């Protein structure tokens, strides 16, 4: 068995946890390979144990059984770009704050690794969103787990995003931007803009305007079998487009459309963790604030 590890830059307080993780995996006879950026952040604290390899974004992970994401949800979103169509199962261990996706706290490290190695887990298939454009934007990584977003740049005036579903005109969104979120992304940026929470297995996208000029324009749920295309208009000639946490400036002449990706992200779900429990915990649902 071979396990790859990606992670956010290491802070001193989590160094003992990372060392324990590596020692635990090696003691179980697991082959370990570590992302080069993560390995570089470990270097000031301790050298990597012998027999641990280092990989880059350009290297193939074809022989990897699992990928561990050490960090928060942002780290796991980045981990998806390492895996892509290989669909290697990803386990997120939370060293960040919120942890909708990376829902296993690092205090439960031993239990999580034991469950993984024993096969005491299920695989949750999460749909991805794919960007089609007439200009290369994201270096071939044209997919995201959470959302695709069009935004105005800096403090420029609002933009108009003329939006079409399967070629049929939907609406012109006069706003700071527009989000198209997957069910996974419905608990992220879209939620902060008033969008609904969707169950992970829902076969839909949610279109959410960012600070719309017309307050009657509300988020809209559409089938993920649809192709959603856009034309951008505004005083500026440059705008921002993003897939999850990756953002790039683009020219207004670019042609953009999104659809469901042909492959999924496969998230490892441990038996003691489920989406509804995570949702209640992170959103503080059902708590009596009078007793807080």
pLDDT classification of 32: cutoffs 50, 70, 90: very high
> Does the pLDDT of residue 120 top 80, yes or no?
yes
DSSP symbol at 63: T
Q: Is 251 among the catalytic positions?
A: no
pLDDT in tens, 215-267: 889 999 999 999 999 999 888 888 999 999 899 999 888 999 999 999 999 99
- Within 10 angstroms of residue 162's Cβ, the number of other Cβ atoms is 14
Within the chain, all domains assigned CATH 3.40.50.10330 are found at: 2-127+264-291
CATH superfamily label, 129-260: Probable inorganic polyphosphate/atp-NAD kinase; domain 2 (2.60.200.30)
Q: Give the pLDDT confidence score for residue 274 in this predicted structure.
A: 65
| Three-class secondary structure of residue 277 per DSSP | helix
Within the chain, all domains assigned CATH 2.60.200.30 are found at: 129-260
* Percentage above 70 pLDDT, the chain: 90
285 compared with 150, residue with greater pLDDT: 150
What CA–CA distance (Å, rounded) separates 177 from 208? 9
What CA–CA distance (Å, rounded) separates 69 from 63? 17
Averaged over 160-179, what is the pLDDT? Answer: 96
* Arch. (CATH architecture) of 2-127+264-291: 3-Layer(aba) Sandwich (3.40)
pLDDT in tens, 200-222: 899 999 999 999 998 889 999 99
Averaged over 90-114, what is the pLDDT? Answer: 79
Q: Give the pLDDT confidence score for residue 292 in this predicted structure.
A: 53
pLDDT in tens, 173-200: 999 999 999 999 999 899 999 999 999 8
pLDDT classification of 99: cutoffs 50, 70, 90: low
Averaged over 45-72, what is the pLDDT? Answer: 92
Q: Give the pLDDT confidence score for residue 157 in this predicted structure.
A: 82
What CA–CA distance (Å, rounded) separates 288 from 175? 36
Distance of CA 64 to the CA centre of its chain: 20
Q: Give the pLDDT confidence score for residue 272 in this predicted structure.
A: 63
Among 67-71, 168-172, 173-177, 269-273, where is mean pLDDT lowest?
A: 269-273
Question: Among 77, 202, 198, 87, which residue's Cα sits nearest to residue 148?
Answer: 77
Q: Chain-wide mean pLDDT for the chain?
A: 90
What CA–CA distance (Å, rounded) separates 150 from 87? 27
Q: Give the pLDDT confidence score for residue 108 in this predicted structure.
A: 81
Q: Which of 53, 63, 73, 139 is catalytic?
A: 73
The residues that bridge with 150 in the sheet, in sequence order, are: 178, 241
What CA–CA distance (Å, rounded) separates 173 from 228? 14
- Within 10 angstroms of residue 152's Cβ, the number of other Cβ atoms is 22
Q: What is the dihedral of CA 50, 52, 55, 61, to 10 degrees?
A: 150
């Amino acid at each position: 068995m071979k396990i790859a590890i990606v992670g956010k830059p290491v802070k001193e307080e989590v160094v003992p946890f990372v060392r324990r993780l590596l020692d635990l995996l090696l003691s179980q006879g697991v082959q370990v390979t570590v992302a080069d950026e993560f390995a570089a952040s470990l270097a000031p604290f301790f050298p990597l144990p012998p027999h641990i390899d280092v990989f880059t974004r350009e290297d193939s992970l074809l022989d990897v059984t699992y990928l561990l994401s050490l960090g928060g949800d942002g780290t796991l979103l980045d981990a998806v770009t390492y895996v892509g169509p290989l669909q290697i199962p990803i386990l997120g261990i939370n060293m960040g704050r919120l942890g909708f996706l990376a829902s296993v706290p690092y205090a439960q490290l031993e239990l999580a690794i034991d469950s993984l190695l024993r096969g005491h887990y299920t695989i949750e298939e999460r749909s991805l969103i794919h960007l089609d454009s007439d200009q290369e934007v994201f270096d071939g990584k044209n997919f995201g787990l959470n959302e695709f977003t069009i935004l105005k740049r800096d403090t420029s005036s609002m933009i108009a995003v003329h939006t079409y579903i399967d070629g049929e005109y939907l609406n012109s969104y006069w706003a700071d931007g527009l989000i198209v979120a997957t069910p996974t992304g419905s608990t992220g940026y879209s939620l902060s803009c008033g969008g609904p929470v969707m169950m992970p297995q829902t076969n839909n996208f949610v279109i959410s305007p960012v600070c719309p000029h017309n307050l009657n324009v509300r988020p809209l749920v559409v089938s993920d079998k649809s192709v959603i295309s856009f034309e951008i208009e505004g005083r500026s000639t440059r705008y921002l487009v993003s897939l999850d946490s990756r953002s790039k400036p683009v020219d207004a002449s670019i042609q953009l459309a999104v659809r469901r990706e042909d492959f999924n992200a496969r998230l490892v779900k441990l038996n003691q963790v489920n989406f509804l429990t995570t949702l209640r915990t992170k959103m503080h649902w059902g708590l009596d604030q009078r007793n807080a």
